Amino acid sequence: MADIKINGATPSAFYYGGTAASAVYYGSVKVWEPTPTTAVIGNKTYPTVRLPDGHVWLAVNLDYAWTGLSVPTSGASSVTTPQAMYYNYDEATYGWSGSQRGLLYNWYAVDYLQTNRATLCPGWHVPTRDEFEAVCTGIGDWTHGDKLKSTSGWRDNGNGTDDYGFAAYPSGVYSGGFGSATAQVNFWTQTTYNTTTSYNFYLAYNSPNFYSYYSNDKSQYSVRLIKDY
């Protein structure tokens, strides 16, 4: 596939000589590219989706235990080094091969992933607070979080409409212990609030809102990556 350079409006799809374009540019600015349907990160294939912010995101939670990442199999932990946990320490039930809740990462792991993204997740990065805010704007505002929630799995039928295929599933949290498995999902950002806390966005079973807050870096939450642009 070849790049096409034009001096016109942003297209929705382009073909040249019967061959799909790999990208379309307005001058030096890329104005269109096909939405990838999958991404391979850490030898696992993830579905992807383009959200109303115009960018491509993973459509499921990250489930990547890279070499050197601490993933305890039992016991409580609260550390200032990169660590992640499967819900109830059980990958088969709660990880990629189970309900696809993925791993719950502390922010030190998130920071390590972002710092080493060129080798761990080339072409992808941990979203910033501003990038999540752009998603909120794209779906209407922060009160329309139900549009991002999965259509099943939420406590007391607190399911969403999943208008865009983001399929935010109630993946739970870890903060001294596992909890909220059907009630809540938090997504880390790479943006710090101060030296011990960082921003995350979360959805809850009993609210349509997509909240922004900051949490202690030792807390363990879900991660969705966004494609570089």
The residue-averaged pLDDT of 167-186 equals 94
Here the tokens at position 212 are 């922004």
Q: Residue 32: its pLDDT value, please?
A: 61
Among the listed residues 218, 214, 215, 221, the one whose alpha carbon sits nearest the alpha carbon of residue 176: 218
Q: Residue 176: its pLDDT value, please?
A: 85
Looking at residue 142, the DSSP 8-state letter turns out to be G
CA dihedral sign, ordered 99, 177, 187, 168: positive
Instruction: Return the residue matching tokens 């409006």.
Output: 9
Confidence of residue 1 (pLDDT cuts 50, 70, 90): very low
Instruction: Return the residue matching tokens 């491509």.
Output: 56
Q: Is the pLDDT of residue 9 over 50?
A: no
Q: Residue 156: its pLDDT value, please?
A: 97
Q: Is the pLDDT of residue 189 over 70?
A: yes
Is residue 106 packed enough to be buried (19+ CB in 10 Å), middle (13-18) or exposed (0-12)? Answer: buried
Confidence of residue 6 (pLDDT cuts 50, 70, 90): low
Average pLDDT, the chain: 89
